Amino acid sequence: MIAFDLKCSKGHTFEGWFEDGKAYEDQSKKGLVSCPVCDDKNIVKAPSVFAIKGSQTKRNVSDNHKAMMELAMQVSEYVEKNFDNVGCNFAKEALKIHYGVSEPRNIRGTSTKQEEKTLKEEGIEFFKIPLPTNPDPEPDSD
């Protein structure tokens, strides 16, 4: 099996799993590959982002980890200060804003997978930010 990052002509990106590269090409030519957001069948492979673990010293890995945690904390603090926390009513409030029932504003909260699916179907853009729980954990030493 191989996973490809795919992109439709409207800019939606998603992941597709195929038996191999030829299977992707065959399915794409037959119009069997479509965007899960808008059902567009004009799909291309998107560049994939990946990293290869190098031979960094433990100190460099630790420094990189610390820098990433600091950045995550800054993002978390920004969201906390600049977005209204609507808790478990995130999907309901996002729909109200989308349809003009509530004033537009930045919101944050939680949602279920089904609620997220509904938001996507309604064309509401949102993104998830994992919140750091411990600002200074030690990286794994595998």
pLDDT tens-digit series, residues 93-127: 999 999 999 999 999 998 899 999 999 999 999 88
Burial of 56: CB neighbours in 10 Å, binned 0-12, 13-18, 19+: exposed
How far, in Å, CA of 94 to CA of 100, rounded?
10
Residue 139 has pLDDT above 60, yes or no: no
DSSP bridge pairs for 49: none
Cβ neighbours for 127, distance < 8 A, ≥ 6 positions apart: none
Please give the backbone phi and psi of residue 5, each rounded to the nearest 5 degrees, phi first. Answer: -80, 125
pLDDT at 95: 95
